[in-house]
Structure 1
Amino acid sequence: MVAQLIWIAAVYSSAVALVHVLHNREKSRQARESGKWIQYILITRNHESVVEWYIRSLTFHAFLTGKPLRVLVMDDNSSDTTMGIVSRMARGGCSLELATAVPALGQEEMSKSRGIILDLRLSGQTVRWPMMQLDGSRGSKSKHGDI
């Protein structure tokens, strides 16, 4: 009897997960058609250890919101395998655009035209992740020393 209840719960959970996936997929299709994209500009220089994590976390956030994602990766003369990692991810199906040089435009001009800028070259930069700004999350609103 217990085994049958476990099977019923497993089938029910699978059906719920499938409905959520299909619903998010339909929302993504509608968002693509309406032109609502999440756009980021990721500026890197020798960030092979973190660039994949940044891109995957942005992809996860786009999946949760049901909006398609575009990431423009601009590399500032990396001497490591940063661009190799990014190019493999682009071939693997991520919606990435690659640029080998950072343009001379100011950050304000770039953000107006293309999207949200995440400059990994700046040390101590506080990146405001959209997933950290959820209701009940104090991570983006707390000040140093506050709990």
Structure 2
Amino acid sequence: MITLALWIVAGYALAALAVHGLYRRSLNHSAAGERRFVHYVLVTRNHGRQLEWYLRAISWYAKLSSKPHLVTLVDEHSEDDTLAIAERMNRAEGMELQVIRFSGELSREDLAQHSPELEQEGFLFIDLRKPGEAAKIPYVHVV
């Protein structure tokens, strides 16, 4: 009986040490300057029918990975309800969403010149105007 009690106490002690070790390791990673968030840059034009799903997928992935996320939506003169959906999702999900209206061709280099801080932070550039680019978004499968 005493042997069993000692094994139980030893198990709890090892579990407590493991939790403390993992916590200390997470503090060291954040102090070392590891990027603790994900930044998505979505380029859209008349993507009102898909945008809500894309933003929800990003939000779910961020919640599951427990990393904060930032979404920058670069819109090229959408004529549908793309911007209205983005505004509604910003309020509903509480995600940090920034909308930039842009006209003309946009490349990764153009965006880096437009916002140099984005290049330093590192970001995932997804041009939804190109077929198959949406597959870069977690939980989105393009056929």
Given the superposition, is the C-alpha separation of residues 103 and 68 from structure 1 closer, same or farther in structure 2, using an over 3 Å criterion? farther
Residue in 2 aligned with 1:98?
A: 99
Counterpart-to-counterpart distance in 2, 1:76 and 1:109: 14
Q: What is the rounded CA distance, in whole Å, between the counterparts of 1:83 and 1:126 in structure 2?
A: 18
RMSD: 3.1
Aligned to 1:79, what secondary structure does the other structure show?
coil
Relative distance call for 1:67 and 1:56 in structure 2 (3 A) is: same
Shift in Å, 1:128:
2.8
Q: Tell me the matched-pair count.
A: 104
Structure 1 segments unaligned to the other structure (5+ residues):
1-26, 133-138, 140-147
For 2:67 and 2:103, locate their aligned partners in 1 and report how far apart those are by CA, in whole Å: 27
Distance 1:102 1:118 in 2: 17
| Residue 51 of structure 2 corresponds to residue 43 of structure 1 | no
Q: Write out aligned runs for 1:126-145 (5 A).
A: 127-130=135-138
In structure 2, the partner of 1:136 is none
Map of 1:12 onto structure 2? none
Identity of aligned residues (%): 31
Segments of 4+ moved more than 6 angstroms: none
C-alpha displacement of 1:37:
0.9
CA shift, 1:127, in A, is 2.5
TM-score by length of 1: 0.58
The residue identity in structure 2 corresponding to 1:94 is: M
Change in 2 beyond 3 A, CA 1:103/1:61: farther
Taking a change above 3 Å as real, the CA distance of residues 131 and 46 of structure 1, as seen in their structure-2 partners, is: closer
Is it true that 1:120 corresponds to 2:128 in the alignment?
Answer: yes
Q: How has the CA–CA distance of structure 1 residues 57 and 84 changed in structure 2, closer, same or farther, with 3 Å as cutoff?
A: same
| Other structure's SS at 2:58 match | helix
Structure that is richer in helix per residue: 2
Task: Report deviation, 1:63.
Answer: 0.8
Greater RCO, CA 8 A, separation 6+? 2
TM-score by length of 2: 0.59
Aligned to 1:64: 64
